[in-house]
């Protein structure tokens, strides 16, 4: 019983490596050791019953219920893995099938609501001759049987609710990621996905919803007519405005090609069938905001940028330092002693301490004065410098021409400039989009383009040339507008990160002034998400609750002193607001803080 309640076993390994994170595994092991000492007479089933009671007790804190859930996961896991191995070890492609079934059973074990439903049915049953573990193995066996009876390759590909655009898009993104992971690249990925959009409703209408098919039967193989119907839809829609640019290239697609593409998609999905992860991490912290990374990071991987990410950031840092040095010499109603405080304290980053209205009231100026000061004296000069950096790398006219002639159907969506061009094309009128797709996607010359367009409406070669030139000019204008919007948004995002980091540096310095016990209690409470009762168990003589309160009070006092020393402005009247910012910072950033401190 030593590891029955704290280890998850890897079904592909003989030694049973636990997928619980080490900090969680250790925590569960410590809890079990204490529980065994308290109740040495209990049997394995008694401990399981104890955790079931916690799970169903609404008065228990969320942390306790989550830990009880994890203990039960470990309790059922060995028998679950053996069930999968026993059912499938003699069949070919065992690993792929086992991963799918492991993910399937995770949906029932790792979903607390589903697990509680099964446990409640067991408790309500009049026949409890089978123990809880045997009962759950029977439940999982039925789940697997039901899945196998109705599962097929085409179920994996087409099991999506066509009427829900949100769900359809979610499944499409999963398929896109699977194709990327399997080695597919653009423009093929967009072509596969475009074909898949039309194949799913065709297949489901013709095969799944066929009147001769009984509900619950395994999804049948598609027929050639399904691929032919999909190919017809694909070819008729690929030049429409909403279609991705990648599908406009090349000749019409044949039914056999659609069939080949759908099989590639299925293979990708089968390869990417990973174990569904439950949130085992007690930290439960949010993932880093990837969008907050500077937008040049993706461009750095391309051949086009002349300077690295660090060099771009260094240039903007030098520019903002120069701007701040010149603030005293500008004309403004804001007192000189308060000008350095405007951006750090009230620019709208996540750790912003004051609104513009609050700041203007403290220094007795109008709120519009603060807004104009930020826009005219900080944002505008930094934007001008950034636009200069952009223009040194991009000639919009030449860039649009190169994109159309060389990258139209094979662009890099990770390149932010090319992404702006794609958005600009999407903003064009339908006729302009069609002309560009035919001209640059199909590589039609002006004569061939005229012949193609004349099939719908008679038109002369001169008219077609005028329309093509107008489409190019319209694209150029739209691209310039979008590029300008992107530059403005980038500068504002950069400023938010810059001043948020400045405020965070003050919080870090204030944190470092605390005593070692205070820092440790804060780390346990916010870094490891431990509740106070558990902290008192870990630190029995620390008076954890009182120490935590005093630590936050001292942190706030030190931070207020740092603000007044750095910016010459007291926020003593806004202590509640400052306290909320500190609480938010502790909840989100203390892990980063601990890494930096060590």
- Does residue 554 have a pLDDT over 70? yes
For the chain, how many residues are written?
598
Helix (H, G, I), strand (E, B) or coil at 541: coil
| 302-341 confidence digits (pLDDT tens) | 434 434 556 777 889 999 999 999 988 999 999 999 999 9
| pLDDT at residue number 391 | 80
Here the tokens at position 171 are: 């499944």
pLDDT at 95: 59
CA 319 to CA 498: how far, in whole Å?
12
pLDDT tens figures, 446-495: 998 889 888 888 889 999 899 999 988 988 888 888 888 888 998 999 99
pLDDT for the residue numbered 581: 92
Largest CA distance in the chain: 95
pLDDT more than 70, % of the chain: 83
Question: Contact, 4 vs 76, CB < 8 A?
Answer: no
Q: Is the pLDDT of residue 284 over 70?
A: no
Cα–Cα dist 372/342, whole Å: 12
Higher-pLDDT residue of 480 and 411 is 480
The mean pLDDT value for 547-563 works out to 95
Q: How far apart are CA 240 and CA 60, in angstroms?
A: 57
Residue listed under structure tokens 């540096």: 505
Mean pLDDT of all residues in the chain? 82
The pLDDT value recorded for residue 347 is: 94
**What does the pLDDT read at residue 342?**
94
pLDDT digit string (tens) for 150-197?
Answer: 567 898 899 888 888 888 898 899 899 989 988 898 889 999 999 999
Which residues have a Cβ under 8 Å from the Cβ of 180 and sit 6 or more positions away? Answer: 189
Q: SS3 letters for 255-267?
A: HHHHHHHHHHHHH
- With 0-12 / 13-18 / 19 or more C-beta atoms within 10 angstroms meaning exposed / middle / buried, residue 209 is exposed
The answer to whether 75 touches 5, Cβ cutoff 8 Å, is yes
For residue range 21-69, list pLDDT tens digits in order.
667 777 888 888 888 888 888 888 888 899 999 988 888 888 899 899 9
Torsion of CA 425, 427, 433, 439, to 10 degrees: -20
**For 111-125, what is each residue's pLDDT tens digit?**
888 899 889 888 776
Whole-prediction pTM: 0.56
């Amino acid at each position: 019983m030593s590891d029955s309640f704290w280890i998850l076993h890897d079904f592909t390994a003989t030694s049973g490596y636990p997928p619980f994170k080490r900090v969680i595994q250790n925590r569960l092991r410590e809890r079990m050791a204490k529980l065994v000492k308290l109740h040495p007479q209990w049997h394995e089933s008694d401990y399981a019953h104890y955790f079931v009671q916690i799970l169903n007790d609404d008065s228990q804190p969320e942390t306790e219920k989550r830990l009880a859930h994890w203990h039960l996961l470990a309790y059922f896991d060995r028998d679950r893995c053996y069930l999968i191995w026993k059912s499938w070890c003699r069949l070919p492609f065992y690993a792929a099938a086992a991963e799918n079934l492991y993910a399937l059973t995770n949906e029932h074990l790792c979903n607390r609501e589903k697990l509680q439903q099964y446990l409640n049915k067991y408790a309500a049953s009049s026949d409890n001759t089978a123990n809880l573990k045997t009962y759950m193995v029977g439940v999982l066996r039925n789940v697997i049987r039901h899945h196998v009876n109705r599962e097929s390759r085409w179920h994996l590909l087409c099991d999506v609710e066509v009427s829900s655009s949100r769900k359809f898009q979610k499944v499409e993104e999963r398929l896109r990621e699977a194709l990327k992971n399997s080695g597919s690249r653009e423009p093929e990925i967009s072509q596969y996905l475009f074909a898949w959009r039309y194949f799913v409703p065709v297949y489901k209408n013709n095969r799944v919803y066929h009147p001769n098919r009984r509900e619950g039967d395994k999804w049948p193989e598609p027929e050639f007519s399904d691929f032919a119907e999909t190919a017809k839809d694909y070819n008729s829609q690929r030049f429409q405005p909403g279609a991705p640019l990648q599908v406009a290239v090349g000749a019409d697609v044949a039914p056999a090609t659609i069939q080949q593409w759908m099989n590639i998609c299925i293979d990708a999905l089968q390869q990417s069938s990973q174990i569904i992860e439950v949130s085992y991490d007690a930290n439960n912290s949010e993932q880093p905001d990837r969008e907050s990374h500077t937008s040049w990071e993706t461009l750095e991987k391309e051949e086009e940028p002349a300077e690295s990410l660090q060099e771009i950031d260094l240039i903007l840092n030098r520019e903002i330092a120069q701007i701040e040095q010149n603030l005293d010499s500008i004309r403004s109603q804001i007192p000189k002693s308060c000008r350095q405080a405007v951006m750090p304290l009230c620019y709208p980053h996540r750790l912003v301490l004051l609104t513009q209205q609050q700041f203007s009231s403290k220094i007795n100026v109008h709120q519009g004065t603060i807004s104009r000061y930020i826009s005219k004296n900080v944002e505008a000069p930094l934007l001008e410098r950034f636009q200069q950096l952009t223009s040194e790398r991009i000639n919009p006219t030449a860039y649009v021409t190169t994109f159309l002639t060389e990258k139209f159907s094979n662009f890099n969506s990770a390149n932010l400039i090319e992404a702006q061009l794609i958005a600009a094309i999407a903003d064009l009128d339908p006729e302009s989009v069609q002309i560009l797709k035919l001209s640059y996607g199909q590589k039609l010359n002006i004569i061939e383009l005229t012949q193609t367009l004349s099939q719908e409406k008679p038109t002369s070669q001169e008219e077609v040339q005028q329309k093509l030139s107008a489409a190019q000019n319209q694209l150029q204008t739209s691209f310039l507008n979008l590029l300008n919007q992107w530059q403005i948004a980038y500068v504002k995002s950069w400023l938010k990160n810059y001043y948020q980091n400045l405020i965070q540096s003050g919080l870090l310095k204030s944190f470092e002034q605390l005593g070692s016990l205070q820092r440790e209690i804060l780390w346990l409470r916010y870094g490891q998400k431990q509740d106070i009762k558990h902290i008192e168990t870990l630190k029995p003589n620390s008076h954890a609750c009182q120490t935590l309160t005093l630590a936050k009070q001292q942190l706030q006092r030190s931070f207020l002193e740092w603000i007044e020393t750095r910016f010459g402005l007291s926020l003593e009247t806004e202590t509640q607001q400052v306290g909320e910012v500190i609480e938010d910072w502790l909840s989100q950033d203390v892990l980063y803080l601990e890494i930096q401190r060590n």
